[in-house]
Amino acid sequence: MTDPRGHALVTGASSGIGEAIAREYARRGVPLVLTARRTDRLEALAAGLRVRVPVHVLPADLADPDAPARLVDAIAALGVPVRILVNNAGYGVPGRYLRSDWNTHAAFLQVMVGAVCELTWRLLPSIRDSGAGRILNVASFAALVPSADGQTLYAPVKAFMVKFSESLALENADAGVHATALCPGFTWSEFHDVTGTRAMMSKLPRWLWLEAADVARAGIDGVERGEVVVVPGAVYRALRVATRLMPERFLLRRMAKNSARIRSTE
């Protein structure tokens, strides 16, 4: 049965965790609005999902500061209410801070922070009005541990998404809104191909890797239960507990030792 209360907007839906979240919502009967830069990938995904639910495709490049407003206007023109917002769009900028020019960092911050905040602000009235609103912010396990060499902006923006979710959950509980930060560890996707770190990441043991479909289910189940922070996978939940018990100085030394092995830091 198609959920009559409103659509789910999934950003970065063309691959990886975003695509998996779109598929899982479709399986649960939630109609969708999908956005990402790659129109062909979105259309192919939508074609397969339309056998289950209505799906609208609205391509957008969230690195453009005007894109969030245009996207929300396009949704309004369709006449479909949004009750679920999935802020998933994102990527990594490999290497240390000075390796990239400022325009590269500015575009990254626009996608990872500016667009997240603006889309949430613009859609929050509709989400609150639904009576069963949900905001799922795809963060990272990197937000919960000391940052690594070569994660100068990535880990901080993911930590922001955790704190943002916490505040949204408190502020909007009166309207039945659940806000959740999904914090997966290493997940099979195109992420490391795009950043050019696939060869290094492939050196990690297989037991550290999560499947995108499992991450999607964990996030959606968690936001439905009203969990504010969701860490998928027993390994990562254990690591989270362990890192809370370890001295900060020890963790920073471990990060310094491991960063060069798995990341492009120059």
Summarize pLDDT for 60-89 with one digit per residue, the tens: 999 999 999 999 999 999 999 999 999 999
Name 151's Cβ contacts closer than 8 Å, sequence gap at least 6.
142, 263
pLDDT greater than 90 at residue 212: yes
Residue at 128 is within a domain: yes
The neighbour count for residue 245, using CB atoms within 10 Å, is: 6
- Rounded to 10°, the helix 39-49/16-27 angle is 20
Give yes or no for residue 121 having a pLDDT over 90.
yes
CA distance 201 to 241: 24
Collapse the DSSP code of 162 into the 3-class scheme (helix H, G, I; strand E, B; otherwise coil) and give the result: helix
Say which of 25, 91, 97, 154 is annotated catalytic.
154
Our answer to whether residue 154 is catalytic in this structure is yes
What span, in angstroms and rounded, lies between the C-alpha atoms of 44 and 27?
17
Q: How confident is the model at residue 198 (pLDDT cuts 50, 70, 90)?
A: very low
C-alpha–C-alpha distance, residues 75 and 159, integer Å = 29
Evaluate the CA torsion angle 186, 220, 39, 68 in order and state its sign.
negative
Q: Which whole number is the average pLDDT over 197-225? A: 81
pTM, entire model = 0.88
Please give the residue range of the domain that contains residue 91. Answer: 7-262
**Contact status, residue 147 vs residue 160, Cβ threshold 8 Å:** no
b/e code 26-46 from CB counts within 10 Å (16+ = b): bebebbbbbbbeeeebbeebb
Give residue 71's pLDDT. 98
pLDDT exceeds 70 at position 118: yes
What pLDDT, on the 0 to 100 scale, is given for residue 244?
Answer: 78
**Dist CA 34 CA 56 (whole Å):** 6
CB 34 within 8 A of CB 10: yes
| Total domains, the chain | 1
- For residue 50, tell me if it sits in a domain: yes
| Residue 216 to residue 45: CA distance in whole angstroms | 16
Q: Is residue 111 part of a domain?
A: yes
- The answer on pLDDT for 248 being more than 80 is no
- Residue 191 has what pLDDT? 54
Section 34-54 average pLDDT: 97
- CATH code of the domain in which 230 resides: 3.40.50.720
Q: How confident is the model at residue 213 (pLDDT cuts 50, 70, 90)?
A: very high
pLDDT attached to residue 147: 80
Residue 2 lies in a domain: no
Based on the number of CB atoms within 10 Å of its own CB, is 243 exposed (0-12), middle (13-18) or buried (19 or more)? middle
Q: In whole angstroms, what is the distance from residue 173 CA to residue 166 CA?
A: 11
